[in-house]
Amino acid sequence: MGGVVGDLELRVIPLGGLGEIGMNMMVMEYDDTIIVIDSGLMFPEDYMLGIDIVIQDISYLKENRDRVKAIIITHGHEDHVGSLPFVLREINVPIYATRLTLGLIESKLDEFNLTKKVKLNQVRPRESVTVGPFDIEFIRVSHSIADCVSLAITTPVGVVIHTGDFKIDQTPVDGEVIDYAKFSEYGDKGVLALLSDSTNVEKEGYTLSEREVGKSFEEIFARCTGRIIVATFSSNIHRIQQVIDVAARSGRSVIANGRSMINNIDIARRLGYLKVPGGLMVDLSDMKDLAHGEIVLLTTGSQGEPMSALTRMAMNNHKQIKVRKGDTVLLSSKFIPGNEKTISTMINHLYRRGAEVIYEKISEIHVSGHASKEELKIMLNMVRPRFFMPIHGEYRHLVRHKDLAGEVGIPEENRILAENGDVVSITAESAAVTGRVECGKVFVDGKGVGDVSKMVLKDRLHLSKDGIVLAILSINEKTGEVLFGPDIVTRGLFFEEENPHLIDEAREAVLQTLEELNPEAKGEQSEVKEEVRKSLRRYFNKTLSRRPVIVPIVIEI
C-alpha cells in the first residue's frame, strides 16, 4: 500500500509492538513524508531454536524509502533501539533522541561500523524538531531507564501523543518527574489521538517507585556478610545508581562484570547520568585483594542467558568468579515471559554452589517501569484525546486498555484496536483501520538476517524432539540392485550400542521395501529415496512411537 495519501489524512501503521512484547516500531505518514517511531528487537521464544534476535519486516519502509525522513527514538531499551543497525543498513535517515539514548545507540552502531554513516541528532525534553509536516515535541516521562520521553506530534490533522514506555513515579531516582504540565497543556489545547503504553494494564493501582528497590537493597546489604552479586539489565541506570549508592554507604567496592554492563556504565558515567564516588568502582582483577564482605559485583545475566556472566558463574565455569557458600545473589529484574525455565535452572545451580538467591517473587528487589491501571487513567485524563489507540502489549493488553479508556469516558467508536500491519487512517473527524501493509518477523541467526524461515525453525524443533536417521546405500543405476548397505545412522533417537536389534530391523525393513519395488521405480533415485524414507518412518513410528527426520543418501554406481 505505497503511494501518497490524500490531504488531511494521517496514516499510523504499527510494524511491531502490537500483539507482542518488544520489537516496537510505529510508522506515521502524511502526504510525502514518513517518520518512524522506535526501532526495537524482540528476544526469541522457546520454539525459535538457534535464533539470536527477532526484528521487524520493514518491506513497507523499503518500498517507500524515498519518503522516510527520520527515526524518532523514545528511549534506549533494546525493544526500542535494538533493530536500528539492521534498519539503517537499508534506510539511512537521521535519528533524533535524548543524550543518554544517543550514547547507547552510538555504542550499538559502532559494532556495525555505522556511526560515521548515520546522522545522530540530540534533543532535550521540551525541545521540538520539525520533519516535513510533523512538529515533534519531546516530553519527559519516568521509566526504568533515564532520559525517556513521550512525543507530542503536531500534524496537519491535529496533535497525536505517543507515550512511549512510561510510568508515573513521584520519587524518581534522578529527581526528574514526569512533565504533568506539558501533558495537561496539550490536553487543554486539544489532542486528536493518544497512543499509550499497555504493558501493565492488568495491574491494579499504581506501579511502585524505583526508590522502593533502593530500600530493599539497604535491608539486604545490611544483613549480608559475604559477597553480594547483583544481576540486572545493563540499561537500567537508575537501578545501577542505587546499587552504587547503597554499596558506598555499606563500605563495599563495586565491580562491573559483563561486556554490556561495563560499556553502559562507562557511557552513563561519561554523560553524567551515573554518579560514582571516586575509588568506589574497581576492576575485576582487584577482587582477590578484597575481603568478601567488601565486594558488590554488578553483572549481566538476570534472564539466565546461556553465555551470560551469571549463568557461567552458576555452572561453575566462569574463569575469574567462583560462586561459593556465603555469597548472596540478587536477581533485580522481572522474569521476562519465556525465560522462566532458564532462570529457574540458573537459580537452582546457584543454590548448588552454596549461594543464597533473592529474586522478585520473594523480595521487592524489582519494580516495573510501566504504568499500572490508575496511572494509565491519569494519562488519559491529562491528555483527554478525541481518539485512543492502545500500543505496546500482547493482544489481551490492548483489549483491556481499550476498555479502560471507556471507563474514563472515551466513546466506543473513538477507540481503535489495531494490530501490526494495520493502516489506521486519522482525520480531524474520524479514525479507523482502513487497510493492511506487509509486516511480520525477521529472524537473525548469527550473521544471517532473514535467511531462517519458519520451515527451518520447524525442522530444528523436529530434530530437537525426535532426532535424525541417515540411511546410506548404493545401488546399481541400471538394475536397481542394492550393492552396499543400507547403513543406518541415528542421532538423538536412541543409544545405538544398547539397541543394535533396532538398527538391524530398520535395515531389513528398507531392504524388504526395495525388493518389492518394480524395476522401473528402482531405476529412479528420487523414487528409491522416497520409499526408503517412508519405510523408516513407518518402522520407527511403530517401534518407538517417534517420527525422526529421515535423510536417505543413495549413491548410484
| Degrees, nearest 5: CA angle 246-252-253 | 110
Q: Higher confidence at residue 546 or residue 178?
A: 178
Could you identify the residue written with the cell 540499561?
A: 235
* Host H or E run for residue 139: strand 134-141
Give the pLDDT confidence score for residue 471 in this predicted structure.
Answer: 83
Give the pLDDT confidence score for residue 498 in this predicted structure.
Answer: 63
Query: For the domain with range 211-359, which CATH number is right: 1.10.420.10, 1.10.1060.10, 3.30.930.10, 3.40.50.10710?
Result: 3.40.50.10710
Our separate counts of H helices and E strands in the chain read 16, 25
147 given a catalytic annotation: no
Which amino acid, one-letter code, is at 260? Answer: S
- The contacts of residue 280 (CB under 8 Å, 6+ apart) are 244, 247, 248, 253, 254
Q: Each residue of 457-503: pLDDT tens digit? A: 455 454 555 677 888 888 776 666 777 778 887 777 666 566 677 88
How many angstroms separate the CA atoms of 525 and 554, rounded?
Answer: 7
Whether the pLDDT of residue 137 is over 80: the answer is yes
Could you identify the residue written with the cell 515533534?
A: 136
Alpha carbons within 13 angstroms on the beta-carbon side of residue 217 total 28
Choice among 75, 80, 162, 370 that is catalytic: 370
Give the residue among 68, 24, 357 at the shortest CA–CA distance from 163: 24
Asked, colleague to colleague, whether 10-205+368-443 and 211-359 share their fold, the answer is no
- The sheet carrying 468-475 orders its strands as 482-491, 468-475, 549-556
Give the pLDDT confidence score for residue 4 in this predicted structure.
Answer: 43
Task: Judge whether 331 and 365 are in contact, CB under 8 Å.
Answer: yes
Coil vs helix vs strand at 480: coil
Could you identify the residue written with the cell 553502559?
A: 264
How many angstroms separate the CA atoms of 358 and 412, rounded?
Answer: 44
Q: Each residue of 163-176: pLDDT tens digit? A: 999 999 999 999 99
Which range, 5-9, 92-96, 492-496, is most confident?
92-96
Choice among 38, 147, 165, 197 that is catalytic: 197
Whether the pLDDT of residue 2 is over 70: the answer is no
Whether the pLDDT of residue 363 is over 50: the answer is yes
Q: Does domain 10-205+368-443 have CATH number 3.30.460.20?
A: no
Task: Judge whether 455 and 498 are in contact, CB under 8 Å.
Answer: no
Q: What is the mean pLDDT of residues 179-184?
A: 98
pTM above 0.85, yes or no: no
Coil vs helix vs strand at 401: helix
Q: What is the mean pLDDT of residues 265-281?
A: 94
How many angstroms separate the CA atoms of 22 and 246, rounded?
Answer: 32
197 given a catalytic annotation: yes
Whether the pLDDT of residue 455 is over 60: the answer is no
C-alpha cell at 181: 504540565
Confidence of residue 523 (pLDDT cuts 50, 70, 90): low
Q: Each residue of 208-245: pLDDT tens digit? A: 999 999 999 999 999 999 999 999 999 999 999 999 99
Give the pLDDT confidence score for residue 338 in this predicted structure.
Answer: 66
Annotated domain spans of the chain: 10-205+368-443, 211-359, 454-556
How many angstroms separate the CA atoms of 197 and 183, rounded?
Answer: 15
Query: For the domain with range 454-556, which CATH number is right: 1.10.260.40, 3.10.20.580, 3.20.20.140, 3.40.50.300?
Result: 3.10.20.580
Q: Higher confidence at residue 328 or residue 319?
A: 328
Task: Judge whether 33 and 67 are in contact, CB under 8 Å.
Answer: yes
Cis before 85? omega within 30: no
